[in-house]
Amino acid sequence: MDFTQIYMSFYPKLVRFATVYVVYEEDAENIIQDLFLGLWESKDSLKYIENINAYMYKLAKNKCLDHLKHQMVKDRFVVNAQTLYEQEISLKLQSLDNFDVEPGSEERVEKIVTKAIDSLPPKCREIFIFSRFDGLKYKEISDKLNISVNTVETQMCIALKKLRNSLSLQLN
């Protein structure tokens, strides 16, 4: 894969990935832009990378970890900054540190997740897709489907619990 192909394949999903693990969404795009800038500078050696999926996921994970650690240190220098922000960073760090896709298993994980989403009850799947893939807030989903926010909340819980069960059964 050359640089353009890698950019086209990975940019949007890595921005989404970073968004999950940083506190402020706007940081996610900067982190991934920075990642690609580094990649551009060494673009001639990209052809030697054997497993580009694993390489890119690892790179994104490390970039996010560096960012979180940097924010944590920066926050400590601000007076009265033992804040919720620091707590959030610490939790994100812990979660990201535990995130791993074994090299070579990326496609399998993708299939398992897709299958788990497909097996959700129709209404539940619709709500889940609106929330996770279309980025709608619970209120927007409730307006769109003419249901209560509580129903959206309940269906999201059902969906994520089912996904958790499918993933833990099939990945472990």
Partner 1 sequence: MINLVIKYLTGELTPDEKKLFLLSVTEDKTLRNELTEFNQILGHLSLLPQKEDNQKALRSLKNFLTEIENKKDRE
Binding site for partner 1 (CB under 8 A): 4, 7-9, 11-13, 16-17, 19-21, 33, 36, 40, 57, 84, 87-88, 91-92, 94-96, 98-99, 101, 106, 109-110, 113-114, 131-133, 137-138, 153, 156-157, 160-161, 163-164, 167
For residue 32, give Cα distances in angstroms to 43, 55, 105, 128: 16, 14, 23, 26
Our CB check for partner 1 shows the closer of 121 and 135 to be 135
Single-letter amino acid code for the residue at 73: V
Least CB distance to partner 1 at residue 14 (A): 8
The rounded distance, in Å, linking the Cα atoms of 7 and 113 is 23
| Shortest Å, Cβ 167 to partner 1 | 6
Cβ nearer to partner 1, comparing 31 with 163? 163
Task: Please name the residues in contact with 86: beta carbons below 8 A apart, sequence gap of 6 or more.
Answer: 72, 75, 76
Give 49 or 160: the residue with its C-beta nearer to partner 1: 160
C-beta of 100: minimal distance to partner 1 in Å?
Answer: 9
CB 32 within 8 A of CB 15: yes
Least distance (Å) between residue 164 CB and partner 1: 6
| Least distance from partner 1 to the Cβ atom of residue 151, Å | 13
What is the C-alpha to C-alpha distance for residues 84 and 82, in angstroms, rounded to an integer?
A: 7
Q: Which two tokens stand for residue 122?
A: 């129709």
In 3D space, the residue among 157, 121, 118, 163 whose CA is nearest the CA of residue 138 turns out to be: 157
d(CA 85, CA 91): 10
Q: Which lies closer to partner 1 via its Cβ, residue 69 or residue 139?
A: 139
